[in-house]
């Protein structure tokens, strides 16, 4: 097995692992999700791996019990500053209200589906290339 095949397999497995972790997080929300609406009350500016600025909205929402929560919404990071006062539909886990996600099914599940698909494809490619001794 060549080093490039091994690299493909490991690279693919990293994506598969991330997909599984994200899938499990979303499944926890899905089991007993509570829908609510949050309001953007601010933003947090951070640098990504390419030193590009990403703005994460700070969302404030109320739980079913009436508790006000304010937190950074990781799933909604953008290259432009979010509008203060913008309303965002979201869901949260009943036992852990800080575990929030988009209420839209596609937005909520896109990351893990893409990561598992890509990781499986790359891992399979690495295994096939190793089996047929192609480098």
Checking if the pLDDT of 132 tops 70, the result is yes
Distances (CA, A) of 121 to 6, 21, 93: 14, 18, 31
- pTM of the entire predicted model: 0.68
Query: H or E stretch including 82?
Result: none
pLDDT of residue 58: 93
pLDDT of residue 76: 66
| Overall domain count for the chain | 1
Choice among 34-38, 40-44, 103-107 with the minimum mean pLDDT: 103-107
Residue 32's domain comprises 3-131
Quote the CA–CA distance of 94 and 99 in Å, as a whole number: 9
């Amino acid at each position: 097995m060549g080093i490039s095949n091994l690299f493909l397999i490991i690279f693919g497995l990293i994506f598969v692992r991330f997909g599984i972790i994200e899938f499990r997080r979303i499944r926890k929300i899905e089991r007993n999700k509570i829908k609510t609406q949050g309001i953007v009350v601010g933003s947090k500016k951070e640098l990504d791996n390419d030193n590009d600025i990403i703005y994460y909205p700070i969302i404030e929402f109320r739980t079913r019990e009436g508790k006000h929560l304010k937190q950074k919404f990781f799933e909604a990071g953008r290259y432009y500053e979010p509008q203060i006062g913008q309303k965002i539909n979201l869901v949260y886990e009943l036992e852990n209200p800080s575990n929030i996600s988009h209420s839209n099914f596609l937005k909520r599940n896109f990351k893990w589906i893409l990561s598992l698909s890509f990781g499986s494809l790359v891992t399979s490619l690495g295994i096939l290339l190793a089996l047929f001794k192609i480098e």
